[in-house]
Amino acid sequence: MGKVKHRRLDQLADLCRQVGDAMQRASVALLDADRAMAEKVITGDAALARARASCEEQLLAATDLRVVLTAVHAVDTLERMGDLALHIARAARRRHPAHVLPDELRVPFADMGQLAITLANTAEQVIRTGDPELAAFLDASDDTMDDLHRAVFATVTRADWPHGVATAVDATVLSQNYERFADYAVALARRTSVIARSELAA
């Protein structure tokens, strides 16, 4: 029984890593105006949907309804995180061969991308290990993400912003995508850490 439970969380953790990988590719597509990388994320979404369905199917075999509820929420959250990576990839493809972002926003967006990937990887580790110390790390990273998001907004609404309204809007929406991705990763880790611990103890 303990072994079956363990496999179940492993599949959820694998799904989390796949979503983190999608975000990594989307961030490269955005920063490098890399169309092939954007396409990889966009076409890869079907595989992600299959992985989610399989993960959810497996949950139906569970006996502890609290675990089922938490895991269904987790799959739902991972779907939304995948959607955010998809939005970023689509923005990169839409503007290709142009860059979506002006050079002055490259650094904060590279930081947000790195942070998003780290948060997804940390959530994956929380699901695998239930380690409570990782939760504190997540909160600190989420604060950093919020600061970066606010800084981008301040930059694009500056009186002397030279890149026009459309670019400002694109940058804000993209920045918001990263910020929401981080929020979801933190919520996911927090919700699943409790069942992860009890599953490993079982």
User: Tokens 């597509």 appear where?
Assistant: 29
Report the sign of the C-alpha dihedral through residues 118, 123, 124, 129, in that order: positive
Q: Which of residues 37 and 182 has its CB atom nearest to its own copies in the complex? A: 182
Tracing tokens 């269904």 back to the chain, one arrives at 72
Q: Copy the structure tokens of residue 135.
A: 């939760």
29, with CB counted inside 10 A (0-12, 13-18, 19+), is buried
Q: What separation, in Å, do the N-terminal and C-terminal C-alpha atoms of the chain show?
A: 9
- Please, what is the minimum distance in Å from the beta carbon of residue 100 to its own copies? 14
Residues present in the chain in total: 202
Nearer to its own copies, 117 or 145 (CB): 145
Q: Sign of dihedral through CA atoms 121, 124, 126, 128?
A: negative
Structure tokens belonging to residue 58:
């497996």
Whose Cβ is closer to its own copies: residue 40's or residue 95's?
A: 95
Contact residues for its own copies (CB under 8 A)? Answer: 56, 59-60, 65-66, 68-69, 72-73, 76, 80, 153, 156-157, 161, 164-166, 168-169, 172-173, 176
Query: At its nearest, how many Å lie between its own copies and the CB of residue 157?
Result: 4
The minimum distance between CB 67 and its own copies, in angstroms, equals 11
Nearer to its own copies, 172 or 198 (CB): 172
If the CB atoms of residues 76 and 131 are measured against its own copies, the closer one turns out to be 76
Cβ atoms of 17 and 132 closer than 8 Å:
no
Shortest approach of its own copies to residue 115 CB, angstroms?
21
